[in-house]
Amino acid sequence: MMDAIVSTRPLDLVADFPAIPEGWAYLDTAATAQKPAQVIDAIAHAYSETYATVHRGVYQRSAEMTLAFEAARRRVGQFIGANAPEEVIFVRGATEGINLVAQSWGGAFLKPGDRIMLSVLEHHSNIVPWQLIAERAGAEIDVAPLTEDGRIDLDAMAGMLTDRHKLVALAHVSNVLGSVLDARRAAKLAHDAGALLLLDGCQAVPRMPIDVQALGCDFYVFSGHKLYGPTGIGVLWGRADLLDAMPPWQGGGAMIDKVSFSGTTFAPPPARFEAGTPHVVGVLGLHAAVDYVTGIGLDAIAAHEEALVREARSALSAMNSVRLLGPEDSAGIVSFAVEGVHPHDVGTILDESRVAIRAGHHCAQPLMEHLGLDATARASFGVYNGRKDVEALVRGIERVTRIFG
Ligand code: PMP
């Protein structure tokens, strides 16, 4: 019963976000989320009162900062259902997390003739790192097609997987279409073929509860800045046995056991993959962001965004000149095309009405090619959006169609 009550009450949280002025409809959360005061305060507090480096200092301030840093790792691990905090690697963002797996795991374990399965809708971050390592390792890439309504076609993928596939890497939620992957089924299909599953959780983590164990994946990546946290910090989660077997990918301080010119040995994970001084304050900001969204409840956030998507899709589908892309039940993201108007013009005219959307290829050029478009207009929602933002979007698009006749 509680769930039903929570899910029917709209969130009204815009007051938590000092960078969102009255009357501005910020609909670009899929690119990056605005920051609540709780996150900004945590960052300001760290720089103005508790700042020091971690892991190396012998003085009390550094020891305390180390405790706070490692508490954040535990909190993030708990948030995504990790078995142990050591499975959480702090990286710059999803892009770096995927590159880490490609270079470290791929560099060590991919052999000539091995295959990697991606999908048509992947972000460039989940394509190019695999191309780079495939080229080096002599491996090949296959691309799972999409269903008519823009989901990764797992039936088709099932027919394409072979025992040569060593890794499947898929977006948990598409950054363009908002389509949600059936991740458990993807995990089963990958594992039945003897492959690992990496999920790109950039757009899923801010929008739905995540439990990496329940999903059954092997690697999961996401970026802090899309989760209402700071830029420059993200997470790679990996199964402990996989991380243990992976070689370092960047060398430097903090990732070693012992360094000598006759041979260097390395620290166990997570330190093995965190060379150099980490983004200490970014990690604390991420902790505050995780606290912020869990305080709201990921189920409540999912229900809130679902309602906004439903409203937006219903209003836009009533407009003859608008082509809606992606499935009906897309998560927090609505891409569309306005007939005869370039998405950049749509974006510019909407901006004049104080509506901020994204227009472009969204770092998903293969998907654009599949859709037969150069670009799309994309509205994406966050916890601060409400019905009036959807109304502003719809009024703005009406204006676009009036201007372009
Ligand atoms: N994957 C997806 C699905 C994304 O939406 C993004 C960001 N647009 C990325 C990967 C890359 O994230 P970042 O730039 O934060 O590393």
Sign of CA dihedral 125, 303, 182, 104: positive
Instruction: Give the Å distance between the CA of 239 and the centre of ligand 1.
Output: 21
Residue 226 alpha carbon, nearest atom of ligand 1: 15
**350 near 393, Cβ under 8 Å?**
yes
Cα angle vertex 313, ends 307, 317, to 5°? 150
Separation of alpha carbons 294 and 68, rounded Å: 19
- Region of residue 378 (phi > 0: left; psi between -120 and 50: alpha; otherwise: beta): beta
Instruction: Give the Å distance between the CA of 86 and the centre of ligand 1.
Output: 23
Identify the pLDDT of residue 4.
40
Q: Tell me the CA distances in angstroms from 162 to 168, 344, 397, one per residue in order.
A: 11, 42, 46
Residue 125 alpha carbon, nearest atom of ligand 1: 10
Name which residue sits closest to atom 7 of ligand 1, judged by CA: 31
Identify the pLDDT of residue 10.
75
Cβ neighbours of residue 21 closer than 8 Å, sequence gap 6 or more: none
Residue 223 alpha carbon, nearest atom of ligand 1: 15
| Edge-to-edge strand ranges of the sheet holding 165-171 | 88-91, 234-238, 219-223, 196-200, 165-171, 115-119, 140-144
Choose which residue among 28, 90, 125, 220 to substitute to test ligand 1 binding: the one with the highest number of ligand atoms within 8 A of its C-beta: 125
Which stretches in the chain have pLDDT values below 50? 1-7
Choose which residue among 98, 203, 223, 361 to substitute to test ligand 1 binding: the one with the highest number of ligand atoms within 8 A of its C-beta: 223
Residue with tokens 């478009």: 373
Instruction: Give the Å distance between the CA of 202 and the centre of ligand 1.
Output: 6
Q: Does 202 qualify as catalytic in the annotation? A: no
Residue with tokens 């037969």: 372
Active-site entry in 71, 132, 141, 363? 363
Domains and CATH numbers, the chain: 2-35+298-404 (3.90.1150.10), 39-295 (3.40.640.10)
**177 near 149, Cβ under 8 Å?**
no
Identify the pLDDT of residue 2.
39
Instruction: Give the Å distance between the CA of 287 and the centre of ligand 1.
Output: 19
Q: What is the pTM of this model?
A: 0.96
List the one residue out of 105, 133, 97, 137 whose CA is nearest residue 246. 105
Reported as type and span, the H/E element at residue 398 is helix 387-403
Instruction: Give the Å distance between the CA of 94 and the centre of ligand 1.
Output: 6
Residue 231 alpha carbon, nearest atom of ligand 1: 15
With a Cβ cut-off of 6 Å, ligand 1 is lined by 93-95, 123, 125-126, 171, 175, 200, 202-203, 223, 363
Sign of CA dihedral 304, 393, 351, 200: positive
**373 near 335, Cβ under 8 Å?**
no
Instruction: Give the Å distance between the CA of 223 and the centre of ligand 1.
Output: 7
Instruction: Give the Å distance between the CA of 125 and the centre of ligand 1.
Output: 7
Instruction: Give the Å distance between the CA of 63 and the centre of ligand 1.
Output: 33
Residue 94 alpha carbon, nearest atom of ligand 1: 16
Name which residue sits closest to atom 6 of ligand 1, judged by CA: 202
Choose which residue among 177, 203, 227, 361 to substitute to test ligand 1 binding: the one with the highest number of ligand atoms within 8 A of its C-beta: 203
| Edge-to-edge strand ranges of the sheet holding 376-380 | 322-325, 333-338, 376-380, 358-360
Choose which residue among 90, 101, 122, 123 to substitute to test ligand 1 binding: the one with the highest number of ligand atoms within 8 A of its C-beta: 123
Name which residue sits closest to atom 8 of ligand 1, judged by CA: 31
Identify the pLDDT of residue 9.
61
